[in-house]
Structure 1
Amino acid sequence: MTPVRVMLIDDSAVVRQVLAGLLSQAPGIEVMASVADPVLAIERLKHDWPDVIVLDVEMPRMDGITFLRLVMQQRPTPVVICSTLTERGARTTLEAMAAGAVAIVTKPKVGLKQFLSEAADELVATVRAAAKANVRTLAPGRAAPAVPAAKNTADVILPPTTRAMTQTTERVVALGTSTGGTQALEAVLTALPRVCPGIVIVQHMPEKFTAAFAARLDSLCQIAVKEAENNDRVVPGRALIAPGGRHMLLKRSGAQYFVEVVDGPLVNRHRPSVDVLFRSVARSAGANALGVIMTGMGDDGAAGLLEMRNVGARTLAQDEASCVVFGMPREAIKRNAAERVLPLSAMAAEIQRQLA
């Protein structure tokens, strides 16, 4: 099998050394270049082109976003952003995601070697998934490889049930996304009118990034968008995004929905987990909910979407051609959890039609 060829671009020699070591040890991955800034990378790209680029965003001579845009114009290539967990880094990284990057790998200011070593499996899985990402508009995507490891299910946060609460007339939309989801959510939410049912969202994203992501969407959308806080009301015209590093559950008191933000173990290797959110929506909203699963690596959300469908909720999945990575929707479709499969371009209109 041809190895995934990776170029590392980071002004920190320590980061380059650690990343190169971890990736080189992984079967099927080859680090073909490791350079200190985008200017040097451009010279190397004149002679050799990688399958995946791992890119820092704050560098001398040329910032990562400018370089990313050049790459996407010349030869669209999967780019994984390697960003520091800071407020400034979060804003810059989201600009990079909007410009076409497919995933985020976070790095702390201190304890870098230990952190990256502990996150080695996630880093390798992210690079492998990125290699199969669909970064060309409407080009057929390919499914990301499964990551072999034991994983928790939503049972560790919320016990399973086959019954929903007594119905109410209030409607709610639950969205779950991962790799490629920042662009997909922007496409859907910016197309929704100011008057629409309340929305709850899990986007797999590291801690500190979700607040900046929500603020960016809020500036672009007719609806209000915010990072969820415990006991926030789910009301028409507002979307709540689960904070990175914490699970989010939909709850109901009488006819009113609200969210509970909780700590807990990883579920399907994620916190927040789409399965946790979808199971809580199945329980609290039942047939008054619409579940939507979109682009992402792995299978988080497939079981929860099936639970939603089994209690009468309507369910949608994004199609393969418009996904960056088809893993999550593919698994939901395989389990018969999705009533309809639609391209991203049709998702907002279908959400409005389903809830009219």
Structure 2
Amino acid sequence: MGKVEAFQKKKLLIVDDSAFMRKLIADFFEGHPTIQVVGIARNGKDALTKISHLQPDVITLDIEMPEMDGLQALKAIMEEHPIPVVMLSSMTKAGADATLKAMEYGAFDFVAKPSGTISLDLHRVRDDLIEKVVAGSEAKVSKLKKVEKAVRESGLQKPKPALPSRPNPFLHGRKKLVVIGTSTGGPRALQTVLSGISADIDAPILIVQHMPPGFTKSLAERLNQICSIHVKEAEHGELVKRGTAYIAPGGFHMKIKVVGSALSLYLDGDEPPRGGHRPAVDVLFESVSFIGKDLIAVIMTGMGADGTKGLRQMKSRNNVVAIAESQQTCIVYGMPKSAVESNLVDDVVDLENIAKTIMKYLP
């Protein structure tokens, strides 16, 4: 009976140049009901050799390794043996940039090591790593490849409109506001959506992407390079402007406040995480529900149900159009599914049509 159960488990390959880290990650899955560690590899080259005969369902892959690093290995894996890959990254600027590159190459998701390449305190992210490995083991590789293609097609440098010569605040009581929430698969989904938004959009865009501190700044910088609209990491107290997308910084909930005739961003690092997340989509959605605006709310790929409670509050107080990404294009159909099942969603659309749908509802 035990052999049958083990055979039915999803197979995990751990790739890390540190023996300590390999052992630590393997211990996390000791006795796990659905995941079985079937092998370890010391670097990317070793991993490619072992993939063909171990045939894992999911891989954890360290970014920083000798001989063949994680990015090189990931690229080869997605070309030769497409498998869901969860990256392990250091919490540095270089680590964040490399992680975003990994997302573009087709990685399923990532976990940031708490304290460098060899993290003695990796147990702090144990639950997060396990959750993402389990979700990755159930993901369809075809979706990862499809999104990767969409990202490549959207990733062309686009001209920026000239910045206004004077402040261009989004005035309270006048225009519309777009709010977006996403998680696993979000960086690539955001690239597809934001690169499809016209530079003359007559609304600001507020975004919550589940990410740790440091990674959201790199994400904003990357998106700003390839989108017609301006994309930036949100700053506390700044007035929001139309034609600009603001990404909530990792470690802070993003809220909106009315300041005179304008709207201002409020970043809260003291309120506890909501559902394990800070920033949380629910917090942003609940905050904008109090400003009495016409709102366009978008919920895209991600695990869990973040955004549904906030959407319910928005709908009870405002004129809201809710858009959810379809199951057909979601890397993880969790957050959109929760919203759709609540009967709060007005449009369910494929990823490549979300930008067009947003623009349809703007004047």
Q: Fold match, TM over 0.5?
A: yes
1:269 lines up with 2:276 in the alignment: yes
Residue 191 of structure 1: aligned partner: 196
Matches within 5 A, 1:293-312: 293-310=299-316, 311-312=318-319
Q: Is this contact kept in 2: 1:249–1:277, CA < 8 A?
A: yes
Residues 48-98 of structure 1 show CA distances to partners (whole Å, capped at 9, x for unaligned) of 211111111121111211211222122321111100111111111110011
Partner SS for 2:197: coil
Bigger mean CA deviation after superposition, 322-331 or 256-265: 256-265
Q: Is this contact kept in 2: 1:287–1:314, CA < 8 A?
A: no
Gaps of at least 5 residues in structure 1 are 141-165
Bigger mean CA deviation after superposition, 111-120 or 242-251: 111-120
- What is the CA distance between 1:254 and its match in structure 2? 3.4
Q: Distance in 1 between matches of 2:15 and 2:230?
A: 36
Q: Distance in 1 between matches of 2:88 and 2:145?
A: 26
Q: Is this contact kept in 2: 1:138–1:321, CA < 8 A?
A: no
Q: Is this contact kept in 2: 1:274–1:300, CA < 8 A?
A: yes
Q: Distance in 2 between matches of 1:19 and 1:343?
A: 35
Residues 114-134 of structure 1 show CA distances to partners (whole Å, capped at 9, x for unaligned) of 532232222111111111223
- What is the CA distance between 1:4 and its match in structure 2? 2.0
1:172 lines up with 2:174 in the alignment: no
Q: Is this contact kept in 2: 1:170–1:255, CA < 8 A?
A: no
Instruction: Tell me which amino acid in the other structure corresponds to 1:190.
Output: S
Gaps of at least 5 residues in structure 2 are 147-170
Q: Is this contact kept in 1: 2:87–2:107, CA < 8 A?
A: yes
The 3 A distance-change label for structure 1 pair 138 and 217 is closer
Structure 1 consecutive aligned stretches of length 4 or more whose deviation exceeds 4 Å: 110-114
1:316 lines up with 2:323 in the alignment: yes
Q: Distance in 1 between matches of 2:115 and 2:268?
A: 26
Partner SS for 1:234: coil
**Over the residues paired in the alignment, what is the CA RMSD in angstroms?**
2.0
Residue 204 of structure 1: aligned partner: 210
Q: Distance in 1 between matches of 2:205 and 2:75?
A: 31
What TM-score results when the alignment is normalised by the length of structure 2?
Answer: 0.87
Q: Distance in 2 between matches of 1:202 and 1:218?
A: 16
Q: Distance in 1 between matches of 2:321 and 2:141?
A: 29
Q: Is this contact kept in 1: 2:111–2:125, CA < 8 A?
A: no
What TM-score results when the alignment is normalised by the length of structure 1?
Answer: 0.88
Q: Distance in 2 between matches of 1:135 and 1:261?
A: 36
Counting matched residue pairs gives: 331
Bigger mean CA deviation after superposition, 325-334 or 68-77: 68-77
Residue 186 of structure 2: aligned partner: 181
1:34 lines up with 2:49 in the alignment: no
The 3 A distance-change label for structure 1 pair 139 and 342 is farther
Q: Distance in 2 between matches of 1:11 and 1:179?
A: 26
Q: Distance in 2 between matches of 1:79 and 1:255?
A: 47
- What is the CA distance between 1:110 and its match in structure 2? 5.6
Q: Distance in 1 between matches of 2:198 and 2:144?
A: 25
Q: Which residue of 221, 228, 237 corresponds with 2:227?
A: 221
Bigger mean CA deviation after superposition, 71-80 or 131-140: 131-140
